[in-house]
Structure 1
Amino acid sequence: METTITEAFDAIVTKLKDWLSTLIEYLPNFGLALLVLITAFFVAKYVNKYTYKLVSKKVKQESVAQIISRISAVVLVLLGLYVALGILNLSKTLTSLLATAGVAGLAIGLALQNTLSNTVAGIVLSFRKKIQIGNWVETNGFSGEVIDINLKEFVLKEADNNIVIMPNKMILENPLKNYSLTTKMRVSIECGVGYESDLEQVKSLTKQTIAQAFDQVESEDNVEFYYTEFGGSSINYLCRFWIDAESMLEKLRAKTTAIIEIKKAYDKAGINIPFPIRTLQFDNKLALENSEQSKEISEN
């Protein structure tokens, strides 16, 4: 019994001596690995701040700038961990960690496929110079001012002050019309005048009215005027001109001003803008006579 206890004690002491020898042997490597991790941590903090400042100059969305700076910091820390494990000769452990991370990443990617696609789309949209916060755009059947682009959604404010929230991937996968990329917009006015009107006078008066109402229209020659059809109660025309504008609200205001000024000018000149008229004509006299005869018979 005493022999067994002695052998067990000797085995424990031998094992502890082996561990101590291994610890002393790998102590420089352990210290160097720890130094690498600490250095990577502090460098990652500096890189995080520097990347945030650099990205925020090009991207107005704070959330996007933060995620990019954090990703760069995490990558640097992982690189430090990789070097530290290499110093400790733990290549097998490193391989196992990478394999586990790969499997876990695949599972998480499949589970969060839509979320990740919106996140990637948000980062891509943030770096697109042709789509900026404050632009007036039209996409997916909605039109409004871009008020936010984050990692999840694309936010518009319509002309009636309603907020439209769309997933980023819808913006990236569908056509988008950006009115703010150009400094000019064309305003179109469709109207009609009575058949008794002097068409040359109508044309001249309309172009003159538009040229006087807008400073951007240099002369009457810059106003397009075309008669389009003989309508049911009027001769219809199309009038077009360009204004300096970057949003649909400015275009709507200009169209409103043009309609008001044209109406004033027509009223002053006695030009009629007719409304639809329906005339009922009864030509079947036989039907009327039969109706009157039937009425007389019923009275008798």
Structure 2
Amino acid sequence: MTEELNRAYELLSDKLIGWFNAIVKNIPNLIIAIIVLVVFYYISKYVSRIIGKLVSKKVHQDSLVNIITKIVAIVIIAAGLFLALGILNLSKTLETLIGAAGVSGLVIGLALQGTLSNTFAGIVLSFRKSIELGHWVETNGFAGEVVEISLKNFVVKEADNKLVMIPNKSILENPVKNYSLTKKMRIIVSCGVGYESDLEKVKQLTKSAIAKQFAEVEKEEDVEFYYQEFGDSSINFITRFWIKGNKAKDKITGQSDAIIAIKKAFDAENINIPFPIRTLQFDNKLSLAKDEKFNEAEA
């Protein structure tokens, strides 16, 4: 038993000494490999910055420039990693890893279908000129400014300053409303006036109020006005006009200013904007004779 323990101790000692000698022998290579990795890391940052500046002169999409610079940085760092492994005499191990990666690539691809689809969708979105950083969009139930298009998520900053990260795949598969593609937007305001109102006067006052409120409306004829229906308590209409704007906030602001202008114009001319009401009318009058007979019967 003692001999077996001594033999095991000797084998363990020889193994540890061998590892220690190998480490000491390869310390210079290890230091050089670490230096190579650090150098290639800084080279990747410097080169990607230069590539980004050069590409931005030809391509005006920030999202596409970001994707290109990230790919360049990854390629440079991967080259540094391969060189470092070669310095450490791990080229055979590297070849084994590459072979294993080819075999396991299919399995990993099946397991990461969602991630890969988002990655390819992010590349496609980066090449789209219709969606760029800074645009105000509405999609998947969210509306806000596009602040980032990465290889995974489409990031939107809402009006309340909250960031919403939407998978790139969902952006490609669902409609996107982009307010920033045009410099003009149409404002639509609905309202109603009392049945006693002079409808021609209401139309003229509304168009005049809108034209005075918004500098973009050059003349009253540019304001569209349509009566829509005889409502329960009012005659309802809509008015439409164009303003300069490319964000959802511009639309809300335009509607608010239009409502204020219309209300002031109607108040000045004593035009009533009724709120929904319900009138209860009792036309049946009970005869006194019936009441007297009923009282006599009770007596």
Give the TM-score normalised by structure 2.
Answer: 0.71
In structure 2, the residue matched to 1:266 is: 266
* Conserved? CA contact 2:48–2:70, under 8 Å: no
Report the Cα offset of residue 76 of structure 1. 6.7
Helix, strand or coil for the counterpart of 1:188?
strand
1:69 aligns with 2:63: no
What residue in structure 1 maps to residue 36 of structure 2?
none
Residue 105 of structure 2 is matched in structure 1 by 105
In structure 1, what residue type is equivalent to 2:126? S
Query: Alpha-carbon deviation of 1:199?
Result: 0.8
Write the distance in 2 (CA, Å) between the matches of 1:248 and 1:102. 49
Residue 156 (structure 1) shift: 1.6
Deviation at 1:215, TM superposition (A): 0.5
Distance (Å, rounded) in 2 between the aligned partners of 1:273 and 1:216: 27
Instruction: Render the CA deviation track for 1:125-166: whole Å, top value 9, x for unaligned.
Output: 122221111111111122222122222211222234333221
- What is the deviation of 1:119? 2.1
Question: Which residue in the other structure is 1:224 paired with?
Answer: 224
Distance in 2 between residues matched to 1:128 and 1:172, nearest whole Å: 11
Change (3 A) 1:286 1:76: same
How far apart, CA to CA, are the structure 2 residues paired with 1:104 and 1:276? 68
The residue number in structure 1 matching 2:21 is none
Match of 1:144 in 2: 144
Q: 2: distance between equivalents of 1:230 and 1:70? A: 66
Task: Report the CA distance shift for 1:93/1:133 in structure 2 as closer, same or farther (over 3 A).
Answer: closer
Alpha-carbon spacing, 1:282–1:71, altered in 2? closer, same or farther (3 Å): same
- Contact kept, 8 Å, 1:122 with 1:168, in 2: the verdict is yes
How far residue 178 of structure 1 moved from its aligned partner, in angstroms, is 0.6
Q: Distance in 2 between matches of 1:295 and 1:180?
A: 78
For 1:66 and 1:291, locate their aligned partners in 2 and report how far apart those are by CA, in whole Å.
Answer: 94
Q: Which amino acid aligns with 1:154?
A: F
Report deviation, 1:66: 3.8
2:6 corresponding residue in structure 1: none
Taking a change above 3 Å as real, the CA distance of residues 268 and 77 of structure 1, as seen in their structure-2 partners, is same
For 1:50 and 1:195, locate their aligned partners in 2 and report how far apart those are by CA, in whole Å: 70
Q: Percent identity?
A: 58
Greater CA drift, 108-117 or 224-233: 108-117
User: For residues 179-218 of structure 1, what are the structure 2 equivalents within 5 Å?
Assistant: 179-218=179-218
The structural deviation recorded for 1:187 is 0.4
Deviation at residue 48 of structure 1 after TM alignment: 5.1
1:100 to partner: Cα distance: 2.9
How far residue 169 of structure 1 moved from its aligned partner, in angstroms, is 1.0
Show the 5 A alignment for 1:134-173.
Answer: 134-173=134-173
Amino acid at match of 1:73: I
Deviates more, 1:242-251 or 1:114-123: 114-123
* Matches of 1:148 and 1:288, distance apart in 2: 81
Query: How far 1:212 sits from its partner (Å)?
Result: 0.7
Q: TM-score normalized by structure 1? A: 0.71
Correspondence 1:4-15 to 2 at 5 A: none
- Comparing 277-286 with 198-207, greater Cα deviation is found at 277-286
Tell me the distance in 2 between the aligned counterparts of 1:220 and 1:178: 29
SS at match of 1:277: coil
What is the identity, as a one-letter code, of the residue corresponding to 1:60?
D
Given that residues 56 and 65 in structure 1 are in contact (C-alpha distance below 8 angstroms), is that contact kept between their aligned partners in structure 2? no
The gaps in structure 2 that reach 5 residues or longer are 1-39
Residues 163 and 296 (structure 1), Cα distance of their counterparts in 2 relative to 1, 3 Å cut? farther
Does the aligned pair in 2 maintain the 1:63–1:151 contact within 8 Å? no
Q: How does 1:236-251 map to 2 (within 5 A)?
A: 236-251=236-251
Match of 1:60 in 2: 62
CA change 1:189–1:149 in 2 (3 A) is: same
Q: RMSD over aligned Cα, in angstroms?
A: 3.6
* Structure 1 CA distance for aligned equivalents of residues 118 and 292 of structure 2: 77
Larger radius of gyration, structure 1 or 2? 1
CA distance in 2, matches of 1:297, 1:119: 89
Structure 1, residues 12-48: CA drift from partner, whole Å, max 9, x if none?
xxxxxxxxxxxxxxxxxxxxxxxxxxxxx89x95865
Matched residue type, 1:244:
K
